[in-house]
Amino acid sequence: MSKPVVLIAEELSPATMQALGPDFEIRHVDGADRSALLPALAAGVDAVLIRSATQMDAEAIAAAKGLKVIARAGVGLDNVEISAATDAGVMVVNAPTSNIVSAAELAISLLLASARFVSPANAALKNGKWARSKFTGAEVFEKTLGVVGFGKIGQLVAQRMQAFGMQVIAYDPYLQPARAAQLGVQLVSLDELLKQSDFITIHLPKTKETVNLIGEEALRKVKPSVRIINAARGGVLDEAALYNAIKEGRVAGAGLDVFAKEPCTDSPLFELDQVVATPHLGASTDEAQERAGIAVAVSVRKALAGDLVPDAVNVKGGAVHEEIRPSLPLVEKMAEIATAYAGGLPQTMEVSVLGEIAVYDAAVLATSALKGAIETTVDEDVTYVNAPKLAEERGMSATVKNDPHCEQFRSSIKLHIGMADGRSFDVEGTLVGIRKVEKIVSIDGFGLDLSPGKHMIFLRYMDKPGVIGAMGSELGKAGVNIAGMQVSRREIGGMALMALTVDDHVSENILEGVKNTTGADLARTVDLEK
């Protein structure tokens, strides 16, 4: 079997190659060279690893034969057309936490350099000028720092600047006040932040809502002594408005690492001693590059194995909590079993998250259920990216609800499926012990203690003597070895369910023989690993 092909489109750290390991065929291309990139993609690749110079737009994605994952070794995804990737069933992953320390440290560096005129003083001294009186700066001690966007990087900056004796306020409409309180930070409106801050640092993505958020109007609300730092995304801070504000004495200075158009080498801002600027160096540390490379390499391995990647940006359900993550494969298997048991695709699926894990966001389990169900009926690859679309095409839906009440276990997952013909039943599973061992504990009201196996048989029949022996005899004649067996019944002489794990795939002919010999009203096989 040929190895999956990974295309490296830009220079990455040696640690990236090490993290990928020997399981892939590695190819290289200059991703910035369009004439080289498109043929390399068309030659057939399973994954492409990029940084910021490679444009993975609709044209490139359409050209990519067999592409399953685009991995950006960094945070920003401006160079990836995510909607086109999603339509094509291609997972898009990045390394959202790889450079957060580096980015936070650069923002702080720019803040301090701006406060003390480090850049122009350095330039003057190297040009033979001892200009001490010209570069009188300002302390940060007991000053107010306004953080615009209080995500991971904004929080790191806040924590570090509190150690400098700064009071920190923040603007973030999506932040829970409890998190801000934990960090000793006061949440305020943007207007209040602009009015109160001695220093402002921006940590927002560039979106339709944030373009020029700090513009002419905002810069007329600030203190004339304020210094503004942008090491996040160019375009959030209006550079023309900033230039005018500094020239007119309404802003004291700025520290900039990002610009609306990059590369940027001729901005009027560069003429001002009050501005310290760097060429988008936020992630440019050895440590950040190594972390980013390792992170996306791990993501590529998971994606090509068909697993959910927590850092996938185009998978419904968002980030996955570590307490929910072990339930993903369990729900997939439960959905596969339910679909096989029902003899067709469900129309509706409801995933109930019960017990202690119900406090966590488990929305992604809906996609797990859809993926598991559809995988049993199609030959094409089903991923966390394309499962929702494939489900929509088939008239399927899945929902998730959380309930802290769980009767038998500390936590469990119950999957309720509804068929188009009106039939419905439940499959319940749980994870046992420190190792999170998967168990199916109930199917269609029959209690079980079943570890899902690679090959399984389910037999529903009227409880009577001789059925187990007949089953064993029939499989023995067919050369099928039984690895495990459980029988559950609701009452003596009533309906019973036999669940078997076997060593090999059981053909339809063998299954039909078993059904006829035992008199079962339902006989199904499930192959959980294809």
b/e burial code for range 192-204 (CB count within 10 A of at least 16 → b): ebbebbbbbbbbb
Least confident of 310-324, 357-371, 468-482: 310-324
Query: Is 233 marked active-site?
Result: yes
Distance CA 295, CA 314 (A): 17
% of the chain at pLDDT higher than 90:
76
Strand partners, 351: 400, 415
Lowest mean pLDDT of 373-382, 389-398, 431-440, name the range. 373-382
The answer to whether residues 149 and 229 touch, using CB atoms and an 8 Å cutoff, is: no
Cβ neighbour number for residue 349 with a 10 Å cutoff: 28
Structural domains of the chain ordered from first start: 5-96+287-304 (3.40.50.720), 100-277 (3.40.50.720), 315-452 (3.30.1330.90), 454-530 (3.30.70.260)
Give the chain's mean pLDDT.
92
The answer, yes or no, to whether residue 397 has pLDDT greater than 70, is yes
Q: Which two tokens stand for residue 57?
A: 């737009």
Give residue 325's pLDDT: 83
Q: Of residues 217, 262, 271, 323, which has the active-site annotation? A: 262
pLDDT band at 317, cuts 50/70/90? low
Catalytic option among 51, 227, 233, 460: 233
> Residue 311: pLDDT band by 50, 70, 90 thresholds?
confident
Calpha distance 156→311 (Å, rounded): 20
Give the model's confidence band at 180: pLDDT under 50 very low, under 70 low, under 90 confident, else very high. confident
Cα distance between residue 183 and residue 166, in whole Å: 13
What ranges make up the beta strands (E) of 374-436?
Answer: 397-403, 411-418, 424-432
The identity of residue 420, as a single letter, is A
Mean local confidence (pLDDT), 109-122: 97
Indicate which residue of 280, 291, 301, 416 is catalytic.
280
Segment 318-349, tens digit of pLDDT: 567 778 888 999 999 999 999 999 999 999 99
User: Residue 91, SS3?
Assistant: strand
- CA distances (Å), origin 530, targets 336, 373, 376, 479: 12, 14, 9, 21
Residues 6+ apart with CB under 8 A from 455: 501, 502, 503, 504, 505, 506, 525, 526, 527, 528
Q: Which residues does 205 contact at the CB level (< 8 Å), separation at least 6?
A: 149, 232, 233
Q: Which residues contact 61 (CB under 8 A, 6 or more apart)?
A: 67, 70, 81, 84, 85, 88, 90
75 or 252, higher pLDDT: 252
Q: How confident is the model at residue 529 (pLDDT cuts 50, 70, 90)?
A: low
Say how far residue 368 (Cα) sits from the centre of its chain.
Answer: 14
> In terms of C-beta density within 10 A (0-12 exposed, 13-18 middle, 19 or more buried), how is residue 101 classed?
middle
Q: How far is it, in rounded angstroms, from Cα 275 to Cα 269?
A: 7
Given a cut of 80, whether residue 168 has pLDDT beyond it is yes
Sorting pLDDT into bands at 50, 70 and 90, what band is 460? very high
Tell me the CA end-to-end span of the chain in Å, nearest whole number.
Answer: 15
Q: What is the DSSP letter of 355?
A: E
Q: What is the mean pLDDT of residues 222-227?
A: 98
The answer to whether the beta carbons of residues 114 and 408 sit under 8 Å apart is no
Q: How far apart are CA 314 and CA 272, in angstroms?
A: 42
